[in-house]
């Protein structure tokens, strides 16, 4: 029996496992019928929370989700999608501006085959766009009934607080959820993001709880580097000769051994760990196949012992990301040196 959790303070009940659909479409499973069957299996197993984005396979993922929710399934699903990424050569076919938001929400609604989106999320920050403009446009969509709630993804603590301030001072709809990266190997959000989310009563749906596949059980020391569609497209993130990835491989090995001692698979350990944190509402799983989905279902029923949790903390220190690439977003203040230097006369 699934024990549903509150999505922040909204009163909406969602499953601890949220079905992520990034791997449905050209980026992963190209068979629409098979993808629909996987989504149906997840829903039949008690999952009522589905997350997608307009940029996943250039809208194809949303189209597949729409097919899966047709025929009466839509009403019982809390449906989340995102906007921000580029969807064309036009420089205005992206971002967090009012112009793009009011246009793109219509495209997402059409692809999803629905009249409303439960949680519409800003996929990434955009420092050049006034956050009040973004929240103003989203507030209008709430008032029109096209979206129910507003969320963000991979925002820094200061931006999360700014969103709450804007809502209070300028009468905007409040952001009710944040979607950050979180896993056994990516614990950076434990420093500030999760405490801030708790302070403001935000729901948190964490992405990549298996650390992009590092915690799938396939990456073991001495086993060689397995073939992977993700590794093929992002070779630097899986090159085990780099110091950061070597540290991730060593940690994954230690965690796999710990999981075996606890009578669990590494996948189960990874998901149970994420769901153990009191700030986490749901962990987003992103299966491409039935086998991958089945390996993750039921992980929300597992409770880790204090001893296991203490040993995890010894392997990866709380608040630590083993790789800087895994943060999901780096603000321009850290990537653009010109912002840290006075202009020359």
Catalytically active residues are 56
User: 336: Cβ–Cβ under 8 A, 6 or more apart, which residues?
Assistant: none
With residue 140 as reference, give the H or E element that holds it: helix 131-144
Cα–Cα distance for residue pair 138/146, rounded to 1 Å: 9
| Half-sphere CA count of 313, side-chain side, radius 13 A | 11
Buried b vs exposed e over 223-253: b needs ≥16 C-beta within 10 Å? Answer: eeeeebeebeeeeebbeeeeebbeebbebbb
Report helix angle 266-276 to 243-261, nearest 10: 100
Residue with tokens 């950076």: 188
Report helix angle 60-69 to 98-112, nearest 10: 40
Contact (Cβ atoms closer than 8 angstroms) between residue 14 and residue 282:
yes
């Amino acid at each position: 029996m699934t024990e549903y959790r509150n999505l922040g303070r909204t009163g909406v009940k969602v499953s601890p496992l949220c079905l992520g659909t990034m791997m449905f479409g050209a980026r992963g499973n190209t068979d629409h019928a098979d993808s629909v069957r996987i989504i149906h299996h997840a829903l039949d197993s008690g999952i009522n929370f589905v997350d997608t984005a307009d940029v996943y396979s250039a809208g194809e993922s949303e189209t597949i989700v729409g097919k899966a929710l047709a025929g009466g399934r839509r009403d019982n699903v809390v449906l989340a999608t995102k906007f921000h990424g580029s969807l064309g050569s036009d420089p205005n076919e992206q971002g967090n501006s009012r112009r793009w938001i009011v246009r793109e929400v219509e495209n997402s609604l059409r692809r999803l085959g629905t009249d409303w989106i439960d949680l519409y999320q800003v996929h990434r920050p955009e420092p050049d766009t006034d956050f009040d403009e973004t929240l103003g446009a989203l507030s209008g969509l709430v008032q029109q009934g096209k979206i129910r709630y507003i969320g963000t993804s991979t925002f820094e603590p200061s931006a999360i607080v700014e969103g709450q301030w804007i809502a209070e001072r300028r009468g905007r709809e409040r952001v009710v959820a944040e979607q950050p990266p979180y896993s056994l190997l990516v614990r950076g959000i434990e420093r500030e993001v999760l405490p801030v989310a708790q302070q403001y009563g935000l729901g948190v749906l964490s992405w990549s709880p298996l650390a992009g596949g590092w915690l799938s059980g396939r990456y073991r020391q001495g086993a060689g580097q397995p073939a992977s569609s993700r590794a093929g497209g992002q070779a630097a993130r899986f090159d085990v000769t780099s110091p950061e990835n070597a540290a991730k491989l060593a940690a994954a090995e230690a965690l796999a051994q710990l999981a075996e001692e606890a009578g669990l698979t590494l996948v189960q350990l990874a998901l149970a760990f994420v769901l153990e944190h009191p700030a986490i509402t749901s962990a987003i799983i992103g299966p491409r196949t039935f086998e991958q989905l089945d390996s993750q279902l039921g992980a929300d029923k597992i409770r880790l012992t204090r001893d296991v949790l203490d040993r995890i903390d010894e392997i990866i220190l709380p608040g630590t990301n083993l790789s800087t690439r895994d943060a999901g977003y780096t603000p321009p203040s850290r990537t653009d040196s010109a912002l840290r230097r006075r202009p020359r006369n």
